[in-house]
Structure 1
Amino acid sequence: MITTRRSALRLLGVTATAATAGLAAGTAYSQPIVADRIRLCDVQQAIENVAATAGVVGAIGRAYVDGRLAGEGTAGSRLLDGKGGCIPPGSRYRIASQTKIMEAAIVVQLVGEGRLRLEDTLRGVLPETAENDWVELADQITVRHLIRHTSGIPDFIESGWFDVFDFTTVYTQLDQVKAARSVARKVELGQYYYSTTNYVLLGMIIERVTGNGRAGEFERRLFEPLGMRDTYLAVKISDQVKGPHGHGYYPDAQGVPRDVDRINATIGSEGAISTARDVSRFYRALSEGRLVPEDLRRQVPQPMPGLCGGTVGWAAGSMPGINSTTFFSTDGRIQFAVAVTLEIDNMQAMGIGDATTAAAEAVLGCAG
């Protein structure tokens, strides 16, 4: 068993509250926004305001209207202590738990193809989880439960088996499922409980049903058809962000910020590395119903609309050293993607989420 920085690893699977509320409910979008009513304001100024928040190393943001760049901004620095120059606004960054929405879209595509059912149980799809008692209630937990975080399966991070600064140990999906089995259930089947283990299991299901690795299915089903040319799924122990980008930091046991650019991508299921352009393309396609059949669209977790009178939704992801948020109009016409690198414990970074939301309200002209 490995000693852990538990608070750090917990962030490998944390999504912002409003986004997880939408994930739990599987809600459809509210009324479409009228894009012409949105007044896109100064993106650069909004990003400068985010970068001025305590604990931020650097911040970037880009706004898109109908797939075209409508504004961008960068502030702070690529590296700690003002070093490395500015982060290129179009650079890659880890989108963390926003990856889960992409993974759910793939699962629902498989349902639409008749290769999987939402009512299929874990025992039926991954019989070894029941036969070896790796998942409690595997004969009752369905694919739908996993997508909506209502399986009650504990988060493997709570086991204490993993170390955020471990860059030498390769973990399998099964390692994480077994770790979750060592943790007592906190809720009953059917109750909402956010757990990354759900999406580790969905990844296993994707691979079992398709016979291909997750990275290949993400590429074939999402990245290539949507033209997300700068996006890839990190799955290796040393997968780093390609090209010039912002570095995030996380305090070690002595409180010294350590560069966590080398996240161990074999832990968790939040491995997508993307850009503002590409992640905006994903949410545009999701909003326009181009990813899954219309009759299954509501099954894809869709973040709850929360800004501009309920016509702008948002999804966020957080992991050590990075917060990323994408805001998007519910008709798919407008997206505003923000990535913020940190030098503090994410649990201390609540003000950064508030600053990001304020930036979106300012850029979209819906503040107040």
Structure 2
Amino acid sequence: MKANTPMAPMAPMISRRTGLTATAAALLTGVAGAPTATASRRTPQAASSLQKNVDAILATGVSGILAEVQGAHGRTTARAGVADLAAKGPVPWDAYYRIGSDTKTFTATVVLQLVGEGRLKLTDTVDRWLPGAVRGHGNDGRRITVTNLLRQTSGLNDYFAADAGDLTPESYRRHRFRPQTPAEQLAAALSEPPQWLPDANDPAQERRWGYSNTNYVVAGMLIEQVTGHPWAQEVHDRIIEPLGLRHTLTPGTSSYVPGPTATAYTHFPGDPRPTDTTLNFGGGADGGIIATAHDHGVFLRALMSGRLLRPAQLAAMKQTVPAADLIPVPGVRYGLGIAWRPVAGRGDGIWFHGGTSLGCVSECGVTPDGNRAVTSAAFTLRLGGPQADAQAARTLGMVDAALRADSGGGR
């Protein structure tokens, strides 16, 4: 799949799919000689288990990592490594970071709220709201429904593929302050034929799945068209403010992450030294949110406990299709902006998404009833290399271990 456009700058927001399935792109790696300072807080017994898993992730070579497990009776946090390779200080407990494609769950929630209000239908086509916006090279918005967008079954190309061949420190520095508009991102995705065309007359039968950030660029455009407000305003008014997420924000075109934070390092192919990629444009409805581990966990628990969606829309979110190449775990399925996977010892599995941006990997999970959630951020990324598999496996293992303790019934 290619979607080439000579005018598009390098997009620093990395696909979630490439983030955890191949060492070829967007994966964590090590920094030789990185300090191994660790610290945990809150309940000692739970902290010991979480700290052990966080230390295991650090051992794969990340510069710094922070994780939090929260539930009805409190929270446990752990950290390891350093916030900056030069200054050597610890990762701040309340560090801000780009959650990357975990943003998609926020966007899907807003769309489903609009569905619950009767302002939008999951069976509506893209062309119903954005006439002619998805056309050219065989692409056809008359064939793509809102469900297709949110469930990643639209067949649209990923706009990120237009820029993936230009991932170098020099290109990063040239473009780190240059945001892309949704129109530019969509144009890149439409520059070649789609992977497939779904049947808008029978969207329930669509089982072909392909991860594409473009789906959520279009979802953000739909939100704006339906409400008359920017995607960021709807996320704020419907999720951030009602939940009191004081440390969650949509930075718009800003390339800055507020403090406290940690330096976000990327190892580019062919460059032996890590590049500080803390400054970059993180995208919009597909990957633009900045948050803390605590705020992210509050959101996930509120979502699964039914505080944000009506029962019918939450049930729709949990209707899934197989998504074998999202992460290297058997049995993964993708719903509307959130994914499910089995966990040994948990008959009902867990819900998750995850996100990757330059220099940061966000990983999370939540129990189906919202009783318990785990969120994490690792502040080192390697674009290729064998250490990626170990880092991914240990991070997913940390999530599973944290949520396995709160086992439930059948799925």
Do the two structures share a fold, i.e. TM-score over 0.5?
Answer: yes
SS in structure 2 of the partner of residue 278 of structure 1: helix
- In structure 1, the gaps of 5 or more residues are 18-38
Deviation at 1:3, TM superposition (A): 7.4
CA contact (8 A) 1:122 1:142 kept: yes
Deviation at 1:100, TM superposition (A): 0.4
1:126 correspondence with 2:133: no
Give the superposed CA RMSD.
2.7
- In structure 2, the gaps of 5 or more residues are 1-5, 22-44, 199-205, 318-335, 407-411
Rounded Cα–Cα distance in structure 2 between residues aligned with 1:15 and 1:222: 26
In structure 1, the partner of 2:162 is: 159
Q: Which one of the candidate residues 173, 176, 181 is aligned to 2:182?
A: 173
Change (3 A) 1:145 1:283: same
What is the identity, as a one-letter code, of the residue corresponding to 1:169? Answer: R
1:202 correspondence with 2:219: yes
Which one has a larger percent helix, Structure 1 or Structure 2? 1
Q: Which one of the candidate residues 61, 67, 74 is aligned to 1:61?
A: 67
- Structure 1 window deviating more from structure 2 (156-165 vs 222-231): it is 156-165
Change (3 A) 1:213 1:50: same
1:342 correspondence with 2:373: no
Change (3 A) 1:312 1:228: farther
CA offsets 1:99-140 (integer angstroms, 9 cap, x no match): 10110010011111111111111111001315x648812112
CA offsets 1:182-209 (integer angstroms, 9 cap, x no match): 1332234232111110000000011111
What is the identity, as a one-letter code, of the residue corresponding to 2:117? Answer: E
In structure 2, the partner of 1:32 is: none
Rounded Cα–Cα distance in structure 1 between residues aligned with 2:162 and 2:15: 14
Rounded Cα–Cα distance in structure 2 between residues aligned with 1:340 and 1:161: 22
Query: Sequence identity, in percent?
Result: 29
In structure 2, the partner of 1:354 is: 393
Rounded Cα–Cα distance in structure 2 between residues aligned with 1:229 and 1:124: 36
TM-score (norm: length of structure 2): 0.75
SS in structure 1 of the partner of residue 363 of structure 2: strand
Rounded Cα–Cα distance in structure 2 between residues aligned with 1:347 and 1:11: 17
1:95 correspondence with 2:112: no
1:115 correspondence with 2:152: no
Rounded Cα–Cα distance in structure 2 between residues aligned with 1:239 and 1:67: 36
1:265 correspondence with 2:301: no
In structure 1, the partner of 2:108 is: 104
SS in structure 2 of the partner of residue 226 of structure 1: coil
In structure 1, the partner of 2:33 is: none
1:330 correspondence with 2:330: no
- Structure 1 window deviating more from structure 2 (119-128 vs 260-269): it is 260-269
Q: Which one of the candidate residues 272, 287, 293 is aligned to 2:304?
A: 287
Change (3 A) 1:115 1:13: farther
In structure 2, the partner of 1:298 is: 315
Q: Which one of the candidate residues 45, 50, 57 is aligned to 1:50?
A: 57
In structure 1, the partner of 2:194 is: 185
CA offsets 1:35-75 (integer angstroms, 9 cap, x no match): xxxx8452223212211113x11011111121622x11111
Rounded Cα–Cα distance in structure 2 between residues aligned with 1:221 and 1:273: 16
SS in structure 2 of the partner of residue 335 of structure 1: strand
SS in structure 1 of the partner of residue 290 of structure 2: strand
- Structure 1 window deviating more from structure 2 (199-208 vs 282-291): it is 282-291
What is the identity, as a one-letter code, of the residue corresponding to 1:359? Answer: M
CA offsets 1:214-269 (integer angstroms, 9 cap, x no match): 11111101111111110011221x33221121222223465132111112234772
CA contact (8 A) 1:13 1:268 kept: no
Rounded Cα–Cα distance in structure 2 between residues aligned with 1:125 and 1:156: 21
CA contact (8 A) 1:250 1:258 kept: yes
Change (3 A) 1:266 1:284: closer
In structure 2, the partner of 1:241 is: 257
Rounded Cα–Cα distance in structure 2 between residues aligned with 1:215 and 1:67: 32
Change (3 A) 1:361 1:201: closer
Number of paired residues?
A: 340
Structure possessing the higher relative contact order (Cα contacts under 8 Å, 6 or more residues apart):
1
CA contact (8 A) 1:67 1:281 kept: no
CA contact (8 A) 1:15 1:97 kept: no
In structure 2, the partner of 1:25 is: none
CA contact (8 A) 2:13 2:287 kept: no
CA contact (8 A) 1:3 1:163 kept: no
Q: Which one of the candidate residues 309, 321, 324 is aligned to 2:359?
A: 321
Rounded Cα–Cα distance in structure 2 between residues aligned with 1:242 and 1:9: 18
CA contact (8 A) 1:14 1:319 kept: no
Rounded Cα–Cα distance in structure 1 between residues aligned with 2:164 and 2:364: 31
1:144 correspondence with 2:186: no
CA contact (8 A) 1:9 1:163 kept: no
- Structure 1 window deviating more from structure 2 (301-310 vs 118-127): it is 301-310
What is the identity, as a one-letter code, of the residue corresponding to 1:124? Answer: R
CA contact (8 A) 2:139 2:193 kept: no
Rounded Cα–Cα distance in structure 2 between residues aligned with 1:363 and 1:123: 43
In structure 1, the partner of 2:30 is: none
SS in structure 2 of the partner of residue 339 of structure 1: strand
What is the identity, as a one-letter code, of the residue corresponding to 1:44? Answer: Q
